[in-house]
Amino acid sequence: MRLTDLTLLELAEKLASGQTSSVEVTQACLARIAQVDGKVKAFLRLDERGALAAAEASDARRASGTQLSPLDGVPVAVKDIFLTEGVETTCASRVLQGFIPPYDATAVSLLKQAGMPIVGKLNQDEFAMGSSNESSAYGPCHNPWDLERTPGGSSGGSAAALAAREVFGTLGTDTGGSIRQPAALTNTVGLKPTYGRVSRYGVIAYASSLDAPGPMGRTVGDVAALLQVLARHDPLDSTSAAVDVPDYRADLEGGVAGLKLGVPREYFVEGMDPEVEASVRAALAAYERLGATLVDVSLPHTKYALATYYLLAPAEASSNLARYDGVRYGFRAHESRGLKDLYGQTRDQGFGPEVKRRIMLGTYALSAGYYDAYYIRAQKVRTLIREDFTRAFSQVDAILTPTSPVPAFKLGEKVDDPLSMYLMDVCTLPCNLAGLPGLSLPCGFTRAGLPVGLQLMGRPFDEAKLLRIARAFEREHDFTRRLAPI
């Protein structure tokens, strides 16, 4: 087995026992990236010098017995939406080309404080707006399970880098499914924490009331270990929750005997791929065999979630993206006549088609005469969606659904059909509207060898139970052990 085939926790054990060094494994990651990333295109940029310097410092700490955390020396990478001091951060957009942040996002700082070398910045949909990584201004990322297919989006690079065994853990963000959907399409594990659990400080904003940074890994244990590093109250983020942080690995092996797991009929939607549904149904049956009780629940306002999301998220985006004017940072149009023209030319040349589409949708929803009819009404429906979940969680410990209605689709297949693309998040975005934790777990493969994901949703700040439920299934199946054929 190659070093890069190890899971994050397996590597941590080898580092602790002295069987390998952080420098050796960081060099192995860089070699693996050089070998396969020309085909996968998970990385937008590498920080080889910074990663190797961090690895050398980690090895020196271990030699002196002063390691910073159990994950000290484990190489990781982060989505290009996280600010990284001294390393270009573009959010996969031309409008931020050349922008070098003067400080780190809190999540990045926490990785560094844990001693983890950060190898580079990962591909994504531009400003996290997309479900296939095809809106990236720097070209699409490719799925290591089938290079002609998408790894999902917007955190496509974060998922693909794991599936291609280029790094051991990654950071993504999830506004409507952007961690969970790519995890489902690449046979990896992705966790969207409760809104407020992980700091958004230094994360480039898409929709501020929905954005949730979170960890991605190859196994449930890997994700639990990363969440332990990331879950902190942050006074720099006004939405960061001052709540206790449990030991996420303490009860990981606790099993599901006696738990009640809800199955909402609204999530098995018309048009769902039959092989996806079959894998998810098989996973539900497996939970029954493990001692859980399946309970039919109803989330009746689910049918309004997609429309609600695509009013609220673009509205917030139209406000957040107004800061990109060509004056303060990033790209500036050179041929402009006056300030107003500078704004227009910069945004026209700097933003891609999907970002422009969402800005226009959001600006329309917020405009005079339409604000009450669209934006305010959508906020009221959002409340109804959250109340559906509150009622359901009075009966059950967690809710299980498909993550994506289809397996990975071919690059280019949906790029000219925005509505079809938006429907890829139909199972994931209600979780964001309600601010709940959600996790995607590998649960099978199609006959063509494409991964299928199972989604688990839990009560606010109950990530520990979600991880425990996910681990119970993972322990009985080998899906996370299967490696992409690249």
Given the DSSP bridges, would you call strands 398-402 and 260-264 parallel, antiparallel or unpaired?
A: parallel
User: Nearest CA to 316 among 231, 375, 390, 249?
Assistant: 375
Tokens of 431: 């979780």
* 253 CB burial (10 A radius; 0-12, 13-18, 19+): exposed
Quick one: which of 42, 220, 222, 43 has its CA closest to 144?
Answer: 42
In this structure, what is the dihedral angle of CA atoms 384, 389, 391, 397, given to the nearest 10 degrees? 180
For residue 206, is pLDDT > 90?
A: yes
Q: Any idea which residue has 């020396």 for tokens?
A: 73
Listed in sequence order, the residues at least 6 apart from 76 whose beta carbon sits closer than 8 Å to its beta carbon are 111, 116, 117, 118, 119, 167, 168, 169, 170, 171, 226
- For residue 353, name the pLDDT band (cuts at 50, 70, 90): very high
Residues 6+ apart with CB under 8 A from 178: 125, 128, 131, 153, 154, 155, 172
pLDDT at 338: 86
**Helices (H) then strands (E): counts for the chain:** 15, 11
The span from the CA of 208 to the CA of 8, in Å, is 30
Task: For residue 54, give every residue at least 6 positions away whose Cβ sits within 8 Å of its Cβ, in sequence order, or none.
Answer: 22, 26, 112, 115, 116, 117, 118
Sheet bearing 438-445, strands edge to edge: 43-46, 118-122, 76-79, 170-173, 213-217, 189-192, 438-445, 451-458, 398-402, 260-264, 293-297
**3-260+395-481 has which CATH code?**
3.90.1300.10
Residues comprising the chain, all counted: 486
With pLDDT > 70 as the criterion, what percentage of the chain qualifies?
Answer: 100
For residue 143 the two structure tokens come to 């799925």
Q: Quote the percentage of the chain above a pLDDT of 90.
A: 91
Q: Is the dihedral of CA 391, 393, 395, 400 positive or negative?
A: positive
**pTM summary value:** 0.97
Question: Are the CB atoms for 37 and 105 separated by under 8 Å?
Answer: no
Work out the pLDDT band at 336, boundaries 50, 70, 90. Answer: confident
Average pLDDT over residues 260-264: 98
Pairing status of strand 76-79 against strand 170-173: parallel
- Nearest Cα neighbor of 135 from 361, 333, 357 is 357
Question: Helices 463-476 and 220-230: crossing angle, nearest 10°?
Answer: 160
- pLDDT value at position 334? 84
- Name the band, by pLDDT with cuts 50, 70 and 90, for residue 437: very high
The stretches of 41-149 forming alpha helices (DSSP H) are 48-64, 106-113
What is the helix (H) or strand (E) element at residue 347, kind and residue range?
helix 339-350
Radius of gyration of the chain (CA): 21
- Spatial neighbors of 257 by CB under 8 A, at least 6 apart, are 290, 291, 292
Q: Which of 108-122, 126-140, 335-349 has the lowest mean pLDDT?
A: 335-349
Give me the helix-helix angle, 274-289 and 463-476, nearest 10°.
100
Contacts of 302 (CB under 8 A, 6+ apart): 264, 266, 267, 385, 388, 430
Which residue would you say has higher pLDDT here, 172 or 370?
172
Q: 24-53 pLDDT, tens per residue? A: 999 999 999 999 999 999 999 999 999 999
335 pLDDT band, cuts 50/70/90, is: confident
Residue 5, pLDDT score = 97
Amino acid occupying residue 224: A
pLDDT for the residue 68: 97
- Identify the pLDDT of residue 106: 98
Query: Where are the chain's structural domains?
Result: 3-260+395-481
Helix intervals (H) in 114-214: 156-163, 180-186
CB neighbourhood size of 289 (10 A): 8
Q: Which residues are catalytic?
A: 79, 154, 178
What kind and span of H or E run contains 44? Answer: strand 43-46
Q: Which of 174, 137, 134 is nearest to 155 (CA)?
A: 174
Residue 329 pLDDT grade (very low, low, confident, very high; cuts 50, 70, 90): confident
